[in-house]
Structure 1
Amino acid sequence: MPAQTHRINHEPAFLLTAKPWRESSLWLEMFSRRYGRVALLARSARTRQSELRGVLVPFVPVSASWYGSQELKTLHRAEWLGGWRQPQGRSLFSGLYANELVYKLTAREDPHPALYDALHTLMRVVAEEPNHVAALRRFEWALLTELGFAPDLQNDEHGQPVTAGQTYWLRPEHAPLPLAQAGGLPQHEAQGVAVDGSTLIQLRNGIFDNGESLQQTLKLTRMLLDFRLPEGIKSRQVLQQMQAFQTA
């Protein structure tokens, strides 16, 4: 192995995507705690005798070791760290949704340890708890905040503290605007969402005390994510199509 080749050993990581590569290998996109999203080539991973079969699965953390100095590196070893079962049913779509967000919004080899920890927490909740709506909202906000896409919820557009008694207008790349000072709802309603100050405070603290706050948070995070991903989020679209089919 060349002296300049970098080698990483026993790095906690989640598998985001995998696709066939040539005859028997896999091209992996993994999200690691200390090195961010990395592209790894798992040689012969699709053969029947491969030790990687059954280890390279999404939604559970693995210990990954790799080497290489190019963008596409070679996976040397992967070990299952255990922890929880694979999500089932609708929980499966929540896991796919989180993986898609991380895959599409992060840059390769840009470390975000806090985001890795948030993904780890979410995947455990998704696998173990049937009601994980609040956990999804917390993860979305952690992702938006860590990547610099979330507005400041501490102060409004005029530098005043966000308060529970106000209603605010939220738009991408803007601080909250008090609707009372804006003279009512802005004309271009599709460009933002109205959110209670109490919801913004709950979102900032990561603790929700009612369904209305969760619903407002969903509208807010969906608007901010759609602004960053105008092409759409495939896992969300598939789930919506399945729900429409079931109710037809």
Structure 2
Amino acid sequence: MSDHRINHEPAFLLASTPWRESSLWLEMYSRRYGRVALLARSARKRMSELRGILVPFVPISASWYGTQELKTLHRAEWLGGWQQPQGRALFSGLYINEIMLKMTAREDPQPELFDKLSATLQTVCTENNHIAALRRFEWTMLTLLGHAPDLHHDQDGLPVRADKQYWLMPQDALRPYSPNDTPPPQGITVGGDVLIQLRDGEFADGFALQQSLKITRLLLDFHLPDGITSRQVLQQLQQFQTA
């Protein structure tokens, strides 16, 4: 762990929790230091300059110090960039923050993941149609964290073909599909064309996006058995609206 002051580090706020009488416990994802826990002293006081700065979904410049797991926030500045998400986009932003919080380890730097997080949040906050960006983000995160299967080759080392079907499982290599197969536990069948599109981040149509969602959901649910709260809340809201 660093024993010196960190200054002006680009970061995003993933979550904040009240701490004692007037402070906040922050979980932030920074570009050079990964996910860090920071104590923002007196941040909940009415006159605190941090009240309008410590908001999610937009980039923040954070400075902190400390040698323990919970460090002390010294200064934070809003870097601007884009507006806060509204409506369905708000749930997407909450979903991204939740899976980042649950899937990443503390102080495990992943600069490429930070850059992807920044680009995805910007898309979510500024574009009405951001479903493809969510699928690309999920796949990038799973890949960088080592939880994504190889979509270039199957278990026999053969290239994935667009005209073939495959079994995809959370912890095993892709297996070519056969009608006589016994379905593996926690496995789904997916077309090679969809696997290639997800791998490359370029989706031809809504069907490919829907199938890609099945893949990323299978993998995330396997690694997050307690569920994803933001997804559950959105599903409940949708059921209420259609009831």
TM over 0.5: yes
Aligned residue number for residue 80 of structure 2: 82
How many angstroms apart in 2 are the aligned matches of 1:220 and 1:135? 15
The amino acid of 2:43's aligned partner reads A
Secondary structure at the counterpart of residue 143 of structure 2 = helix
**CA offset digits 1:84-132 (Å, max 9, x no partner):** 0000001000000000001001110011111111110110000011111
CA displacement 1:179-210 (0-9 Å, x = unmatched): 03xx545334x611111101111111111011
TM-score (ref. length: structure 1): 0.95
Q: Distance in 1 between matches of 2:207 and 2:182?
A: 22
Q: Which residue of 2 aligns with 1:19?
A: 17
Tell me, what secondary structure is at the counterpart of 1:18?
A: strand
Secondary structure of the residue aligned to 1:103 is helix
Q: What aligned pairs does 1:14-163 form with structure 2 within 5 A after superposition?
A: 14-163=12-161
Amino acid at match of 2:194: T
> 1:233 and 2:221 equivalent?
no
Structure 2 residue identity aligned to 1:239? L
Q: Among 163, 166, 170, which residue is 2:164 paired with?
A: 166
Q: Deviations over 1:11-53 (max 9, x none)?
A: 0000000011011100000000110000000000011111111
Q: Secondary structure at the match of 1:158?
A: coil
Matching residue of 2:242: 247
Unaligned runs of 5+ residues in structure 1 are: none
> What is the RMSD computed on CA atoms of the aligned residues?
1.1
Q: Using the alignment, how far apart are the partners of 1:204 and 1:5 within structure 2?
A: 40
One-letter code aligned to 1:191: Q
Alignment of 1:152-231 (within 5 A): 152-180=150-178, 183-188=179-184, 191-231=186-226
**Displaced runs of 4 or more, over 2 A:** 183-188
In structure 2, do the counterparts of structure 1 residues 184 and 214 end up closer, same or farther at CA, with 3 Å as the change threshold?
A: farther
Q: How many pairs are equivalent?
A: 242
Q: TM-score, normalised by structure 2?
A: 0.97
What is the one-letter code of the residue matched to 1:42? Answer: A
Identity %: 68
SS in 2 for 1:191: coil
Query: CA separation in 1, counterparts of 2:3 and 2:146?
Result: 32
1:176 deviation in Å?
A: 1.1
